[in-house]
């Protein structure tokens, strides 16, 4: 299996940032959750059952939304090839702004927070056995939001085949790039550039990045809303033998309210 290679808290940095009268984007402004997620005994057993009932070969962290999370430890195992027999390709989607990605990123990652581009790349000719992992700085907002839209696009394209999907193995990296870089810098190129930093605020990169991101997300959501929801009564009526269609392994998680939990990750043999 291969990792597709692409070329491509917020605590203010002293009072200097506070003196700049520039509105901050309302995203990833929360400090990341603890890297150690504590599961109450009742929920721990539920998480085990969910894993047993899905096709995910690694542990997932139940979390709010329609895309489960994976840990930095799981991501490292994926990058190391521990699950390469399960997937033909791994795609890491870095949803941060361009200057953040240029300052440092996970090896082989694609810097993109435009769902329209991802739709063209992944759904024009769907890939088989692909693992897709999204993240941003903390995986609190941008990463999960783009991942959710990606899943909605899949649902929209397969509305006649509900609950089948082209990409059932979609995850969000828990703790985002910050957490992963702190634990596994050897799997990253470059360092770690915060979204909110003095240079990005003074040169306009922060405002431009935020404006473009909001425009991308707004358009993507409008496009999705134009299509009706899939009809559950057709769940077994379409592409039953098509290897590119898979039953959704994530849906059991969505039925529970795990608002306390956050994300987790994975990847494979990256050519350096």
**Per the confidence metrics, is the pTM higher than 0.75?**
no
Pairing of strands 110-111, 89-94: parallel
Q: 69 pairs with which residues across the strands?
A: 61, 172
CB atoms closer than 10 angstroms to residue 15: 7
**Is 238 labeled as catalytic in the residue annotation?**
no
CB atoms closer than 10 angstroms to residue 168: 23
Residue with tokens 């047993």: 52
Render each residue's pLDDT in the chain as its tens digit; 272 residues.
666 655 443 333 333 434 444 444 555 544 444 333 333 333 332 222 233 335 688 999 987 788 999 999 999 999 999 999 999 999 999 999 999 999 999 999 999 999 999 999 999 999 999 999 999 999 999 999 999 999 999 999 998 999 999 999 999 999 999 999 999 999 999 999 999 999 999 999 999 999 999 999 999 999 988 765 555 444 444 655 565 666 554 433 322 222 222 333 333 333 32
What residue ranges define each of the domains in the chain, with the CATH number in brackets? 42-254 (3.40.250.10)
Query: Which string of DSSP letters, residue by residue, matches 27-40?
Result: SS-SPPPPSSPP--
What contacts 24+ positions apart, CB below 8 Å, involve 50-58? 50/252, 50/253, 53/252, 54/249, 54/250, 54/252, 55/168, 55/169, 55/246, 55/249, 56/169, 56/249, 57/83, 57/86, 58/83, 58/266
| Rounded CA separation 265/79 (Å) | 10
Query: Which string of DSSP letters, residue by residue, matches 207-221?
Result: HHHHHHHHHHHHHHH
| Rounded CA separation 6/199 (Å) | 26
Stated length of the chain:
272
Catalytic pick among 76, 95, 136, 161: 136
The helix-helix angle for 142-157 and 115-123 (nearest 10°) equals 40
């Amino acid at each position: 299996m291969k990792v597709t290679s692409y070329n491509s808290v917020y605590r203010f940095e002293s009072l200097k940032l506070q003196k700049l009268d520039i509105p901050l984007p309302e995203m990833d402004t929360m400090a990341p959750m603890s890297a150690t997620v504590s599961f109450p005994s009742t929920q721990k057993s539920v998480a085990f059952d969910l894993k047993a009932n899905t096709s995910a070969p690694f542990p997932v962290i139940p979390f709010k939304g329609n895309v489960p999370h994976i840990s930095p430890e799981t991501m490292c195992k994926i990058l190391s090839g521990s699950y390469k027999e399960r997937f033909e390709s791994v795609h890491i989607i870095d949803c941060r702004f361009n200057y953040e990605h240029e300052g440092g990123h996970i090896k082989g990652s694609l810097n993109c927070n435009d769902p329209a581009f991802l739709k063209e790349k992944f759904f024009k000719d769907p890939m088989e056995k692909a693992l897709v992992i999204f993240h941003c700085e903390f995986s609190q907002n941008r990463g999960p939001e783009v991942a959710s839209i990606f899943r909605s696009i899949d649902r929209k394209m397969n509305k006649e085949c509900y609950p089948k999907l082209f990409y059932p193995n979609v995850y969000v990296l828990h703790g985002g790039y910050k957490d992963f870089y702190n634990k596994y810098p050897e799997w990253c190129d470059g360092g770690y550039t915060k979204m909110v930093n003095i240079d990005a605020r003074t040169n306009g990169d922060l405002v431009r990045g935020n404006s473009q991101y909001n425009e991308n997300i707004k358009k993507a959501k409008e496009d999705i809303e134009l299509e009706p929801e899939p009809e559950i009564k057709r769940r077994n009526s379409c592409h039953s033998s098509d290897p590119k269609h898979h039953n959704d392994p994530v849906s059991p998680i969505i039925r529970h309210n795990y608002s306390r939990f956050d994300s987790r990750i994975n990847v494979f043999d990256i050519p350096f």
